[in-house]
Chains A and B, each alone.
Chain A
Amino acid sequence: MVKYILKRLGLALIILIGVSALIYLLVMLMPTDYIDNQTAAAVQSGQMTYEDVQRLKELYGLADKSFTGIVKSYYSWLTSAIQGDLGFSFLYGRPVTQVINDYVWISFLISLIAYVIEIIIAIPMGIKAAVNQYSGYDYTVSVFAMMATALPAFFLAALLMNVFSIKLGWFPLQGLTTATKIFDPNDWWGIFLDKAWHLVLPIVTLTLLNIGGLMRYTRTNMLEVMNSDYIRTARAKGLSEKTVVNKHAFRNTLIPLVTTLSGMLPGLFSGAMITETVFSLPGIGYMALRATLQGDIPFVMGYNLFLSALTIIGYIISDIMYTVVDPRVQISK
């Protein structure tokens, strides 16, 4: 087992290096970067010369845009990245790792809550739809799931804001705190409630966006299981339909569900870029969008590497979970 995990991690490292190289190349091709953006006004007004700008770029390893130059600067970036140093964010004026650490938790919180709600709602509904295949319930669930997957996040967010914030006034429109209210720093309950109030709509948005896919996935797998021979055997034993569904069928449906859902766990840290942006939540996704649009190269690099690492860790977790949940799978390599 340990050997298997080590081997997977080794392979993951190779992929990660490949990904980082690819991203680095793409990012370096950005013709504009934060330095250009920031110094443009200064150069125009004569406060800085073109040489000053170049010196500044050299300092950050951004000056040489020839192939060898990119390779060299990638190498130096990689060596420091391996040591855990992802550089210094231009936009936020702090080390990239620190920026990520500062903003990732709010993203994680939103995603985690949405993830839990999704599981609680989607799995029972998917199972019920599969057990009553071709019934009215099944059709309703399927069509709803399809609708949810077809909705663009920003449109769904706009709809929710229009109805629940503007028309009904139940929830605040944007942000994480009410700007007009001043809280006593000791009133942690009040602060907590205020923040929670602001997070309702983003969480609803995220949940609705992902619930359809999970529902369909559960339904498809459950259908496959329900049609298998061992379910017939279970019925032939005289088990009640409840036991057949909840024990025999569900336990088998759990295999793909657990592997997929556990593979999604690392992704909860990646931030919901669109939703956070639309609701102006200071999560990692929103921060990354701003950094990307402004050409903050170190942060963009660090964030994308972070995301790729999460994706790969997700693959590994789901592979490992597969061996845990399914007794048939044994590690052969």
Chain B
Amino acid sequence: MSNKENNRDNTQYLTIKEEKAIARENKKIMTQFEREKNRKNVDESEYTTQMRNPSNVIEFDNLHTYFYTDVGVNKAVNGVSFVVPEGKIVGIVGESGCGKSVTSLSAMQLVQGPVGQIVDGSIRYTTSEGKCYDIAKMPRDEMRRIRGKEISMIFQEPMTSLNPVFKIGEQLDEALEIYNENLSASEIKARSIEMLELVGIADPENIYSNYPHELSGGMRQRVMIAMALICEPRLIIADEPTTALDVTIQAQILDLLLEVKDSIKGSIMLITHDLGVIANMADYVVVMYAGKIVEAGEINDIFKNPKHPYTVGLMRSLPSLSNIENQEKLFSIPGQVPNAVNLPDYCYFCNRCDYSFDACYESYPEDILFEDGHRAACFLYADRFKDLDLNRPQLPKNIASSSDDQFARKIPQGRVDFESINNPKEKL
């Protein structure tokens, strides 16, 4: 082996010594965070804050959630800011591993500790009692009161998300009991059965005394939804609620979500990699890539006029009838999401991007606000490159038109100030 190769070897692989140094450093940081979170009797003022816009249910502001792994710090969520307005559905899309789930778990403080930690930023949330808390700074004991009652979560895997050794009824009752100590056992049971009925389970009394393994995947997901809704939370986080289900059930579950959302007057944060689901459900879309938001805005703006090459790529990779008519190959974005441990200091997408130019390799693009109100982080639209004759992405005609029909839905009434949460200094 030549000397040159040897050198390269050293730069690419971490030696055991280096890994151990990282591990030691991580341990220090992790213990500090854990200690912070485990404190008892913390003064409420420490984590009380003010919403930027009172009509929002939750505001993510410059959220950073890192995983301290032995090969380095994995920046799973790396500066994410968006809001969920009251009564609306916000869809979060992106490839797997882009930080969607971690963002949602951060809102519940359920990131797998001690490795995963919310490092920076804030998650502002107003409780039904009108108090505004910063979830990112809440001690663990206090956070418990938020979970289930204020924010609840529906997970991706209905098959493994229910405890196999407890009956469905027990698991539902338990969720209710925590916050309703004054209810009698029979009242709780009645409420649970009512809930099961609400989520469209035909024989609720029977299902109440069944074990999870006796139900099908779709049924279990309904139970999960019932469990998430039983305390009437103001925000429901649905983390790929239909991915593990087959297509016919998917539609039923999504419809159900829409229905129950209205019945409890909640908001939904819908995480998915399926643009079709988003198109049918969401009022707003947040597109994430490698731990950052690359584009965000109202559903119609994003679908009709996507700006970021990544969003365009995602849309083009949707199968449509015209593809078949024109005998086109289904588009796919080349390459993979970059390793979140060694992120470059320039645009994360540029090496997969057909439209990248030199500036993309210099620094990370700032957010750019468009007239229609949506934002994208891409140099193609930066003022200083306005005059450059750049090859800016366009949705192919057939997709743009077909998406019109495919995604046709009512335009939300009254524009909510979706961008108020953007990094102020980036605001144009």
Chain A binding surface SS class:
helix
Cβ B147 vs Cβ A234 within 8 A: no
Cβ B163 vs Cβ A234 within 8 A: yes
List B130-187 residues whose CB lies under 8 Å from chain A: 140, 144-149, 152-153, 155, 157, 160-166, 174-175, 178-179
From B110, B153, B163, B178, A248 is in contact (CB under 8 Å) with B163
Sample 27 A-B pairs with CB under 8 A, ordered by A number. A134-B114, A229-B161, A230-B162, A230-B163, A230-B164, A233-B155, A234-B163, A235-B110, A235-B147, A236-B110, A237-B174, A237-B175, A237-B227, A238-B146, A238-B147, A238-B148, A239-B144, A240-B144, A248-B166, A251-B165, A252-B163, A252-B164, A252-B165, A326-B165, A327-B164, A327-B211, A328-B213
Q: Which residues of A contact B314 (CB under 8 A)?
A: none
Shortest Cβ distance from A330 into B: residue = B213
Q: Is B98 an interface residue (CB 8 A)?
A: no
From B114, B160, B163, B175, A238 is in contact (CB under 8 Å) with B175
Q: Which residues of A contact B178 (CB under 8 A)?
A: 237-239
Residues of A near any B CB (own CB < 8 A): 134, 228-230, 232-241, 248, 251-252, 255, 326-328
Taking A236-B110, A251-B166 as given, write out 9 further A-B residue pairs in contact, using a Cβ cutoff of 8 Å, ordered by the A residue number. A229-B161, A230-B161, A233-B227, A236-B152, A238-B145, A238-B147, A252-B163, A255-B165, A328-B164
Known: A228-B160, A229-B155, A229-B157. Is A236-B147 also a contact (CB below 8 A)? Answer: yes
Assembled-state Cα–Cα distance A134/B146 (Å) = 29
Among B164, B179, B227, max chain A CB count under 10 A is at: B164
Known: A229-B160, A230-B162. Is A236-B213 also a contact (CB below 8 A)? Answer: no
From A134, A236, A237, A327, B165 is in contact (CB under 8 Å) with A327
Q: Which residues of B contact A234 (CB under 8 A)?
A: 163
Q: Is B90 an interface residue (CB 8 A)?
A: no
Assembled-state Cα–Cα distance A255/B165 (Å) = 9
Q: Is B108 an interface residue (CB 8 A)?
A: yes
Known: A229-B155, A229-B157. Is A238-B179 also a contact (CB below 8 A)? Answer: yes
Number of interface residues of B (CB under 8 A): 30
Shortest Cβ distance from B233 into A: residue = A238
Assembled-state Cα–Cα distance A218/B153 (Å) = 30
Q: Which residues of B contact A235 (CB under 8 A)?
A: 110, 147
Q: Which residues of A contact B164 (CB under 8 A)?
A: 230, 252, 326-328
List B280-338 residues whose CB lies under 8 Å from chain A: none
Q: Which residues of A contact B179 (CB under 8 A)?
A: 238
4 pairs of A and B residues whose beta carbons are closest in the complex:
A238-B148, A238-B147, A229-B160, A230-B163
Known: A230-B163, A252-B164. Is A236-B211 also a contact (CB below 8 A)? Answer: no
Known: A232-B155, A248-B163. Is A238-B110 also a contact (CB below 8 A)? Answer: no
Assembled-state Cα–Cα distance A134/B108 (Å) = 24
Assembled-state Cα–Cα distance A157/B161 (Å) = 48
Minimum CB–CB distance for B18 against chain A, Å: 20
Cβ A237 vs Cβ B148 within 8 A: yes
Assembled-state Cα–Cα distance A175/B211 (Å) = 54
**C-beta contact mask, B173-211 vs A, less than 8 Å → 1, else 0?**
011001100000000000000000000000000000001
Known: A327-B213, A328-B211. Is A236-B108 also a contact (CB below 8 A)? Answer: yes
Among A232, A238, A255, max chain B CB count under 10 A is at: A238
Q: Which residues of A contact B227 (CB under 8 A)?
A: 233, 237
Q: Which residues of A contact B213 (CB under 8 A)?
A: 327-328
Q: Which residues of A contact B155 (CB under 8 A)?
A: 229, 232-233, 236
Assembled-state Cα–Cα distance A131/B157 (Å) = 23
Cβ B157 vs Cβ A238 within 8 A: no
Minimum CB–CB distance for B220 against chain A, Å: 11
Assembled-state Cα–Cα distance A306/B304 (Å) = 80
Minimum CB–CB distance for A327 against chain B, Å: 5
Cβ B162 vs Cβ A233 within 8 A: yes
Known: A327-B213, A328-B211. Is A236-B148 also a contact (CB below 8 A)? Answer: yes
Shortest Cβ distance from A325 into B: residue = B165
Assembled-state Cα–Cα distance A251/B170 (Å) = 13
Assembled-state Cα–Cα distance A229/B157 (Å) = 8
Assembled-state Cα–Cα distance A248/B165 (Å) = 8
Cβ A232 vs Cβ B175 within 8 A: no
From A134, A230, A237, B160 is in contact (CB under 8 Å) with A230
Assembled-state Cα–Cα distance A240/B145 (Å) = 9
Cβ B163 vs Cβ A233 within 8 A: yes
List B260-291 residues whose CB lies under 8 Å from chain A: none
List B339-381 residues whose CB lies under 8 Å from chain A: none
Shortest Cβ distance from B237 into A: residue = A236
Q: Which residues of A contact B144 (CB under 8 A)?
A: 238-240
Minimum CB–CB distance for A323 against chain B, Å: 13
Shortest Cβ distance from A254 into B: residue = B165
Assembled-state Cα–Cα distance A153/B81 (Å) = 62
**C-beta contact mask, B207-230 vs A, less than 8 Å → 1, else 0?**
000010100000000001001000
Among A230, A232, A237, A240, max chain B CB count under 10 A is at: A237
Q: Which residues of B contact A255 (CB under 8 A)?
A: 165
Minimum CB–CB distance for B382 against chain A, Å: 41
Shortest Cβ distance from B179 into A: residue = A238
Q: Which residues of A contact B157 (CB under 8 A)?
A: 229
Assembled-state Cα–Cα distance A235/B211 (Å) = 20
